[in-house]
Chains A and B, each alone.
Chain A
Amino acid sequence: MTIYSPTYADDRAQIQDLMGRYLFAMDWHDTETYAGCFTEDGVLDYAMDTLVGRAAIREGAVKFRENVGRLFKREDGSPALLRHVLDQIVIRIEGDRAWTTAFWWEMTDGGPGRTPQIQSYGTYEDEVVRIDGQWLFRRRKIYNEFIPGRETPDPNPVIRFDEVADAAKKD
Chain B
Amino acid sequence: MNARSYAQDRAEIEDLMARYLFAMDWADYDAYAEMFTEDGELEYARGTAKGRAAIGESVRAFKAAIGQIYTDSRGRPAILRHILAQTVIRVEGDRAFAVALWWEMANDGPGDKPKAGTFGTYEDELVRQDGRWLFSKRRILNEFLDGRATGETNPVLLLDQRAKACAR
Chain A positions near chain B (C-beta within 8 angstroms): 1-2, 4, 6, 8-10, 12-13, 87-91, 101-103, 105, 117-121, 145-146, 151-152, 154-159
Contacts and interface: CB of A to CB of B under 8 A. Distances in A.
18 contacts: A1-B131, A4-B8, A6-B8, A8-B8, A9-B5, A9-B10, A89-B14, A89-B18, A103-B21, A103-B81, A103-B83, A105-B81, A105-B83, A118-B115, A119-B113, A146-B114, A156-B22, A158-B22
Given A88-B18, A88-B83, A118-B113, A155 B28 contact: yes
B105 A105 contact: yes
Contacts of B17: 88
Contact of A90 (B18, B27, B28, B109): B18
Given A4-B15, A90-B18, A158-B19, A13 B28 contact: no
Contacts of B114: 105, 118-121, 146
- Interface of chain A, helix or strand or loop or mixed? mixed
B107 to A, nearest CB: 7
Interface residues of B, number: 33
Given A4-B15, A102-B18, A120-B114, 20 more contacts: A1-B131, A4-B11, A8-B8, A8-B11, A9-B7, A9-B8, A88-B83, A89-B18, A90-B22, A101-B18, A103-B81, A103-B83, A105-B114, A118-B105, A118-B113, A152-B26, A155-B26, A155-B28, A156-B31, A158-B28
Contacts of B10: 9
Contacts, number: 92
A10 B6 CA distance: 11
Contacts of B81: 103, 105, 121
Contacts of B1: none
Contacts of A152: 26
B7 A13 contact: yes
Interface string B88-125: 00000000000000000101010001111000000000
Contact of B23 (A87, A117, A151, A158): A158
Nearest to B112: A146
